[in-house]
């Protein structure tokens, strides 16, 4: 092992030990400590790198929770405190300002792929004075993701209906999925059925299984 590699490992272990110690002193979990630190240091200022479109490839279709049944009569349901619930058809969503971007989809399993996405920023459906959190669920409610409002309204957070210039396929989340390149793939929920703006920190499928709720890259 060379000196640079040894120094890197030593620094990483020391940093983990410090973070663990501080989290104990502050009486929060390591996940909560890491989330707070990431939000303070990076927050909404950080943008994910973008790439030339010709580097885009089809990513693995990891995860099929919430995709078992085709949705014949799909609509996007939007809920927020103090406002009536509303629904949007795919055509109504697609009428919102369109954005295209080529970013990297990164999986917690260790693989990644550059993908070209087309969609509209989620912030275009947010109500004025939105509360602190956003919950997104599949139509059958079996897969669910929680986001802090800052991440949900990030300019690169898209409601996407196309991948690499083609409409989404079922295995990749048709008709509408989330693309949030500052988070790991577990936050990029496929086939969104409901988006709820809420003051309560929402449940998250993988956080319930022990993963980091914030899941920032």
State the Cα–Cα distance between residues 57 and 180, nearest whole angstrom: 17
CATH code for the domain of 63? 3.90.420.10
The token pair at 161 is: 């209906």
CB atoms within 10 A of CB 161: 20
What is the pTM (predicted TM-score) of this model? 0.83
**Phi and psi (nearest 5°) for 38?**
-60, -45
Half-sphere exposure of 26 (CA within 13 A, CB side): 15
Enter the tokens of residue 204: 């998250």
The domain in which residue 18 lies consists of: 1-41
Are both 37 and 48 inside the same structural domain?
no
Share of the chain above pLDDT 70, in %: 79
One domain for residues 10 and 63 = no
Q: Enumerate the β-bridge partners of residue 183.
A: 216
Asked if 48 and 33 sit in the same domain, the reply is: no
Q: How many domains does the chain have?
A: 2
Q: Are the C-beta atoms of residues 178 and 189 closer than 8 Å to each other? A: yes
Q: Where are the alpha helices (DSSP H) in 90-168?
A: 90-94, 149-152
Residue 54 lies in a domain: yes
Under the banding of pLDDT at 50, 70 and 90, the label for residue 41 is low
Residue range 53-101, pLDDT digits in tens: 999 999 999 999 999 987 889 999 999 999 999 999 999 999 999 999 9
The CA-based angle 141-155-19, given to 5 degrees, is 75
Q: What is the pLDDT of residues 2-21, one digit of tens each?
A: 444 333 333 333 344 444 44
Residues 123 and 77 in one domain: yes
């Amino acid at each position: 092992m060379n000196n640079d590699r040894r120094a890197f490992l030593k620094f990483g272990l020391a940093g983990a030990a410090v973070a663990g110690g501080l989290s104990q002193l502050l009486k929060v979990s390591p996940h909560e400590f890491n989330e707070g630190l990431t939000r303070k240091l990076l927050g909404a200022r950080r943008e994910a790198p973008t790439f030339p479109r010709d580097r885009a490839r089809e990513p693995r279709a990891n995860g099929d929770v919430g995709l078992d049944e085709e949705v014949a009569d799909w609509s996007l349901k939007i809920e927020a405190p103090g406002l009536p619930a509303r629904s949007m058809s795919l055509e109504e969503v697609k009428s919102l300002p369109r954005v295209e971007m080529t970013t990297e989809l990164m999986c917690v399993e260790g693989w990644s792929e550059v993908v070209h996405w087309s969609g509209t920023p989620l912030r275009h459906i947010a109500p004025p004075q939105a509360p602190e959190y956003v919950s997104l669920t599949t139509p059958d409610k079996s897969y669910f993701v929680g986001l802090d409002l800052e991440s949900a309204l990030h300019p690169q957070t898209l409601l996407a209906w196309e991948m690499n210039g083609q409409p989404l396929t079922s295995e990749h989340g048709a008709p509408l999925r989330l693309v949030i390149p500052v988070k790991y793939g577990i936050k990029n929920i496929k086939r969104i059925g409901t988006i709820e703006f809420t003051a309560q920190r929402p449940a998250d499928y993988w956080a319930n299984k022990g993963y980091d709720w914030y899941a920032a890259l």
